[in-house]
Chains A and B, each alone.
Chain A
Amino acid sequence: MRWTWIDRFTAFESRKAATAVKCLSLAEDHFADHFPGYPVMPAPLILEGLAQTGGILVGEANGFRENVVLAKMSAKFEREAYPGEVLTYTATLVDLGETGGRVSGTVKSGDDVVATADILFAHVGPDQLPPGVTDTKFVFTGELQTLLKTAEAVATTPATATS
């Protein structure tokens, strides 16, 4: 299953801050049900994108050696987000320690603030694996880091290269 709720990183400064964008497309299945005739991006999926932005920032800080899981989050929404909008997720690293990290995050559409959140991430060691999980490295399995590689590729490709 693909569970990537950001499209691309647009800025990444190790141990400091990361910015990613998410284009909301009406083709995404969830808009059909949320809600019929009134498509609104589900708030948890917005927060998932923000958490992925912040989680990768926290994971990269230790070379992706730790399993970084979302531990606690408080969020405030200012407005809804609709298909056709481009959301910009910004995560700033506030704390980083051996047990985890904390980021402060903002979701914007253009200049409009959609949501703000404070997110606490925990490092999960091999002795604290959730039931049923046997892989000691179960968070950064490749899909999420691919995002960083994509960002790099786009950043180093001259805009004229595709023409």
Chain B
Amino acid sequence: MPTKDEIFEKVRTTLVDALNVDEDEVKPTSRLRADLNAESIDFLDIVFRLEKQFGVKIPREELFPESIFQGDAEFVADGKVTAKGLAELEKQMPFADLTEFRKDPRLDKMEDLFTVDLIVNYLQKKLGG
């Protein structure tokens, strides 16, 4: 099983190719949208490249879920993710670090969860399991 550093290196290569960014721009804390300017279609590109790079199958909605909160109206209230929603988020994305998001769970801040580290954590769980 590859180490976290090894996974990060490969993820970095993938993001450099997919997003046309410089290697030193890709840090573990980099947010895909805000820092690396990823657009929605780039997420599809990234998934394709990761599947190839790591030889794994990444089902739709697993790494970059788009419809977590569509199942229940109680997941979101006044533009904020509710406690119930946070529990659902934790269940569906166990590889996400929700520490910061819990402090200010505004729905429009959710995209900041998608960092380079999130991808690395996801792959680490995936490759380890």
- A interface, CB within 8 angstroms of B: 71-72, 95, 97-100, 102, 120, 122
Q: Which residues of B contact A120 (CB under 8 A)?
A: 41, 44-45, 48
Q: Contact partner of B51 among A71, A72, A95, CB < 8 A?
A: A95
8 Å CB contact of A100 from B42, B48, B52: B48
A95-B51, A99-B47, A120-B48 known; A71 and B60 CB under 8 Å? no
A97 touches B51 (CB 8 A): yes
Count, chain B residues at interface, CB 8 A: 10
CA distance A73 to B42 in the complex (A): 11
Chain A minimum-CB-distance residue to B58: A97
B residues sitting closer than 8 Å to A (CB atoms) are 41-42, 44-45, 47-48, 51-52, 59-60
The answer on a CB contact under 8 Å between B48 and A71 is no
User: Is A122's CB under 8 angstroms from B52's CB?
Assistant: no
- Are A72 and B47 closer than 8 Å at their CB atoms? no
For the complex formed, measure the closest distance between the CB of A57 and the CB atoms of chain B, giving whole angstroms: 16
B44 proximity list for chain A (CB < 8 A): 71, 99-100, 120, 122
Whole-angstrom distance between the Cβ of B109 and the nearest chain A Cβ: 24
State whether A72 touches B45 (Cβ < 8 A). Answer: yes
Nearest neighbor of A120 in chain B, beta-carbon distance? B45
Query: Would B41 and A72 count as touching, CB distance under 8 A?
Result: yes
13 A-B interface contacts by CB (under 8 A): A71-B41, A71-B45, A72-B42, A72-B45, A95-B48, A95-B52, A97-B48, A98-B59, A100-B44, A100-B48, A120-B44, A120-B48, A122-B41
Contacts of A95 in B (CB 8 A): 48, 51-52
Residue of B nearest to A102 (CB): B48
Interface centre among A95, A98, A99, A102 (most CB of B within 10 A): A99
| Contact between A98 and B60, CB atoms less than 8 A apart | yes
Roughly how many angstroms separate A41 CA and B72 CA in the complex, as a whole number? 53
Give 7 closest A-B pairs by Cβ, nearest first. A71-B41, A95-B48, A120-B45, A99-B44, A72-B41, A99-B60, A122-B44
Q: Report Cα–Cα, A132/B51, bound state, in Å.
A: 34
Q: How far is the CB of B24 from chain A (nearest CB, A)?
A: 21
A35 to B59, CA, bound (A): 47
